[in-house]
Amino acid sequence: MNFDFSDDQQAIKRTAKDFLAARFTAERVRALAEGGSYDDDAWKEICELGWPGIFIPEDVGGQGLGMVELVILMEELGYALAPLPFLSGVAAGLALEVAGSDEQRERWLPGIASGEVRATAGLASNGEARLVPDAEGAELIVLLSRDGGRVVEAGQAEVEPIDTIDATRRFARVRADGGDPLPGDAGAALDRIGVALAAELTGVAQHTMDMAVEYARDRKQFGRPIGAYQAVSHRCAQMLLETEGARSASYYAAWTADAETTSLPAAASMAKAYASDAAWRVAASSLQVHGGIGFTWEHDLHFFLKRAKAGGILFGSASEHRDRVAELTGFATEPAPA
């Protein structure tokens, strides 16, 4: 059995890494984050490459590939910390592809695949989604819960922009009572969205670990690189363990979405829970390796740390997903009597 990427998948990863590294230098990401904006030129190029529709079937304008290919892109986007409306479009596209009617899919997916339609999705309860990426200015908002979902066009929703610690992504609170119901399995759509987000968080963890290792090699104390000291080297080893664990969980969950959907619910929640914790812990450990410089605004590490925290909460926190895994696998326990 071959556990490696295919040649085409390897090419997607190389292309994405090179493209994003060239366009999202640390200086560029900082400028966009501090300016509260996205890179429209890079977004146009990404749309021309067909990335927004990589998972969308060809008959509705996409590339017709799968979740594994999407996860490859998401990891690289997380590594680059790219300030782009990519995740939001992916979330809406996955919701419509998995749970939408034929009419909804035919109406909206071609525009999402081309990047011409700005769309997003959020986890909603009682008509309100408290944290929705890129909702302001979106033509289409998909409100999802495990019990169902609905498609809301821009004029049907109350969108309130909110500030979060993550300056590289725009968020809003969305309230809506109407909308067009999704007839399919909204829970399955949420599983796939969670997998995509887990991959992005894996990329964040990988980048912050790389920053720590590079600093540990270059920074010297008492004539030796600080990475030679066990307190630092053991911390970096733990960062590697958690990053690789997040990557394995994310790619396994992506594979189940394409090949073994009965395993997807538990695999998706395990991936989201593990990657959420790993991204935060690895970024926090990287900060400790950097010492005082890591705590300053002038250092870029805090942008990754904040993306890790916001992404860990988005579409369900780690604790919520662990509870779901316990329920799905039969390990949930009854609360202790008062």
DSSP 273-337: HHHHHHHHHHHHHHHHHHGGGGGSTTSTHHHHHHHHHHHHHTTS-HHHHHHHHHHHHT---PPPP
Closest to 162 (Cα-Cα) out of 125, 185, 131, 208: 131
Q: Helices 67-80 and 186-218 meet at what angle, rounded to 10?
A: 40
pLDDT at 304: 97
Whether residue 26 lies inside any domain: the answer is: no
Residue 19 lies in a domain: no
- Domain assignment present for residue 7? The answer is no
Give 82: exposed, middle or buried? Use CB within 10 Å, 0-12, 13-18, 19+. buried
Residue 133 token pair: 């990426």
Alpha-carbon span 159 to 172, nearest angstrom: 6
Domain membership of residue 291 (yes or no) is yes
| Single-letter amino acid code for the residue at 260 | E
Note the pLDDT of residue 70. 98
In a domain, 61, yes or no: no
pLDDT at 228: 81
Q: Write the burial class of residue 305 (CB in 10 Å: 0-12 exposed, 13-18 middle, 19+ buried).
A: buried
**Does residue 164 lie in a domain region?**
no
Task: Report the domain count for the chain.
Answer: 1
CA distance 263 to 272: 14
Whole-number Å distance between alpha carbons of 9 and 338: 54
239 part of a folded domain: yes
Report how far residue 230's alpha carbon sits from residue 240's, in angstroms, rounded to the nearest whole number.
Answer: 15
Low-confidence stretches of the chain (pLDDT < 70) are 1-3, 333-338
Give CA–CA dist 186/95, Å, rounded: 7
Burial of 260 (0-12, 13-18, 19+ CB in 10 A): exposed
The candidate with the shortest Cα–Cα distance to 188, out of 79, 108, 109, 267, is 267
Length of the chain counted residue by residue: 338
Q: How far is CA 105 from each of CA 111, 188, 207, 330, rounded to the nearest angstrom? A: 10, 16, 36, 35
Positive or negative, the Cα torsion across 56, 58, 62, 66? positive
pLDDT at 337: 53
Encoded tokens for 109: 């997916």
Look at residue 37 and tell me if it is in a domain.
no
CATH (domain of 289): 1.20.140.10
Rounded-to-integer distance, Cα 20 and Cα 81, Å: 9
**Quick one: pLDDT at residue 145?**
95
Q: What pLDDT was estimated at residue 333?
A: 63
What is the extent of the structural domain holding 260? 187-329
